[in-house]
Amino acid sequence: MASALDPEITRRTAARAGLTAAGAVGLTAALGTPARAAPWQESGTSADVIVVGHGLAGLVAASEIAAKGKRVLLLDQEGEQSIGGQAHWSLGGLFFVDSTEQKLNGIKDSLDLARQDWFGTAQFGRGVTDPLGQDYWAAKWAEAYLEFAHHEKRAWLASLGMGWVPLVGWAERGGQLADGAGNSVPRFHLTLGTGPAVVAPFEKKVRAAYAQGLIGFRFRHRVDEVVVEGGRVVGVRGKRLVPTSAPRGVQTSREVVGDFELTAGHVLVTSGGIGGNQDLVRQNWPARLGTPPASMVTGVPAHVDGRMIGITEQAGGRVVNADRMWHYVEGMRNWNPIWPGHGIRIIPGPSSFWFDGNGRRFPTPGIPGYDSLEQLRMIRASGFDYSWFVLDKTIIEKEFVLSGSEQNRYLTAKNMAGFLLERTINGMQKEVRDFLDNGEDFVVADNLDDLAAGMNRLVGTDLIDAAELRRQIVARDREVDNPFTKDVQVMGIRNAQKTLADSLVRTAQPHRLLDKQHAPLIAIRCNILTRKTLGGLQTNLKGQVMGADGQPVPGLWAAGEVAGFGGGGVHGQGSLEGTFLGGCIFSGREAGRAIAAA
């Protein structure tokens, strides 16, 4: 096992946190790490608390526990280079209610409006008032999280050094009635530094606690059993995996080099969801979304395998809402993949045409950025595993952003000037251009006949009729000549332009797609991309895992995605976006504080 103070890994960690070369070399000294770790940190087999999973929720929880002087063993099946888990790869979006940034953007938000949107999207309905109901604790977590997002979340994170892009994004716009799914106002706050900047303050706290002799790392430790004795969880058993120097995100070996058994008074599971395991995704696929797709791309690394959900269930934990999950419908095969089946999500503006596999335009809410799960249902009902965006150069330059820290170099480097210059003046984002030039899901043509022919070649069958495609596009093009329209998508484009962020960097002016000045035409085959687990281990508001009898399993806790981001499903059936990182932070903090006080 690599030491927690391996200098090469320490340099990589510092680089991810945005430190200079000199700062990287001096990270250990900056945290006050002793020259030699305490024996228990390196080889001890017991602690006050075991945390299984060194992603965002695990880091937050471990830092809270150690802050109260308790000793923590932090385990993960991956190497040190993967600290931060999925959060590292994220765009860093956070959901705030009535924030400083919203006010600067002229957005009027409130806790009541956010609650209306959250519960309208969640559609809790599985025993909300029944202590044994699947949604009983989920709904309580939703109320608690909304209070956190409204009152304390932003100020607390800012005090840890986080900052946000001043333009607030409008994700999941809904497209139906006021009390239905979606955000009534923009609430998506992009963290300067993207995902790595969300992870950094908590990783720093954990490494400082290591320096103080309060946290021990156990990398490449795969838990295979949560140990129960006398009705109480007392530790974990598993296998030590061969050390790895594989870069972050790359699939690692599962070669076993030994066994381990560790004991503690409390075990906290923060191991993530099932998004990297397509077999589990299909096994738990919700019936309301149709049949599982035969073909998907994968939005998270292979280690996001869902193993700990079943393992914790074997120890008495209750799994609820297993059929609730969150997958995106705008996935592209990564031309430069890191993990198996690697897909990247387009975060689109509202202007692209959206067609099914036969070239039929989707009805509302089949408009980019409106209602991800309803769009997923519509795509599966069409009989295809994919759909088509049809757009032009003007739209892709103004509206397209790709999800992921590695797909947003300026934001990840905290270079606001570069970000704004590229988005407002320089045209197409470099990472988008790379996909346009190299991505296998793209078709580019100077006219619609050639575009339709290219779409058919890409899928290997003549499903797209150019004449029918033209008829639908021309029909919508006629609707842009007036400031009013009956076309819901054109209404949405004009509505979007009333927000500051959309008008500046996210929404193109309404125009006729077939006008030559906006050429070339572009078609993108959009694949279903796996991402988040919305159900999981049921927890009370402290983070204690509940058993089948509705009582906490002694000594067993969970936080983050493995717990449905709180309660076994804080989002209900669907998300408002910007709520996954926040759910890891909030549930990790609550569990960590409760364990520290236990």
pLDDT of residue 446: 97
pLDDT of residue 171: 96
- Which backbone phi and psi does 509 adopt, to 5 degrees? -60, 140
* Alpha helices in 515-576, H assignment, sequence order: none
Average pLDDT of span 454-465: 98
Average pLDDT of span 193-219: 98
Task: Give the chain's mean pLDDT.
Answer: 93
- Give residue 18's pLDDT band: very low, low, confident or very high (50, 70, 90): very low
Work out whether the CA dihedral 435, 438, 441, 447 comes out positive or negative.
Answer: positive
**Is the pLDDT assigned to residue 5 strictly greater than 60?**
no
Q: At what angle do helices 56-67 and 580-597 cross, to 10 degrees?
A: 30
DSSP, residue by residue, 417-486? HHHHHHHHTS-S-HHHHHHHHH-TTEEEESSHHHHHHHHHHHHTS----HHHHHHHHHHHHGGGSSS--S
Residue 22 Cα distances to 11, 14, 95, 100, 410, angstroms? 9, 10, 35, 35, 22
Tens digits of residue pLDDT in 532-579: 999 999 999 999 999 999 999 999 999 999 999 999 999 999 999 999
Tens digits of residue pLDDT in 86-132: 999 999 999 999 999 999 999 999 999 999 999 999 999 999 999 99
**Is the pLDDT assigned to residue 15 strictly greater than 90?**
no
pLDDT of residue 425: 83
Distance CA 372, CA 173 (A): 10
Instruction: Say if residues 118 and 86 touch (Cβ distance below 8 Å).
Output: no
Tens digits of residue pLDDT in 380-405: 999 999 999 999 999 999 999 999 99
Tens digits of residue pLDDT in 336-356: 999 999 999 999 999 999 999
% of the chain with per-residue pLDDT over 90: 92
Average pLDDT of span 586-598: 98
**Is the pLDDT assigned to residue 186 strictly greater than 50?**
yes
Average pLDDT of span 569-597: 97
Q: Quick check: bond before 243 cis, omega within 30? A: no
The closest alpha carbon to 147, from 205, 186, 182, 95, belongs to: 95
Burial class (CB in 10 A: 0-12, 13-18, 19+), 424: exposed
pLDDT of residue 1: 34
Instruction: Say if residues 119 and 141 touch (Cβ distance below 8 Å).
Output: no
Instruction: Say if residues 259 and 117 touch (Cβ distance below 8 Å).
Output: no
Lookup: tokens for 210? 């290591």
pTM of the model: 0.94
Work out whether the CA dihedral 516, 519, 523, 529 comes out positive or negative.
Answer: negative
pLDDT of residue 28: 35
402: left (phi over 0), alpha (psi -120 to 50) or beta: beta
Strands 442-445 and 353-355: unpaired
The closest alpha carbon to 415, from 18, 9, 13, 7, belongs to: 18
Q: Is the model more confident about 491 or about 421?
A: 491
For the chain, the 3-state helix, strand and coil shares in percent, each to the nearest 5, are 40, 20, 40
Distance CA 293, CA 451 (A): 26
Q: Quick check: bond before 365 cis, omega within 30? A: yes
pLDDT of residue 2: 37
Q: Is the model more confident about 15 or about 393?
A: 393
pLDDT of residue 283: 97
Work out whether the CA dihedral 150, 152, 156, 158 comes out positive or negative.
Answer: positive
Strands 386-392 and 401-402: unpaired
pLDDT of residue 175: 86
Helix (H, G, I), strand (E, B) or coil at 136: helix
267 contacts: CB under 8 Å, gap ≥ 6: 49, 50, 52, 226, 233, 235, 236, 555, 556, 557
Helix (H, G, I), strand (E, B) or coil at 241: strand
Distance CA 187, CA 501 (A): 11
Lookup: tokens for 79? 């190497």
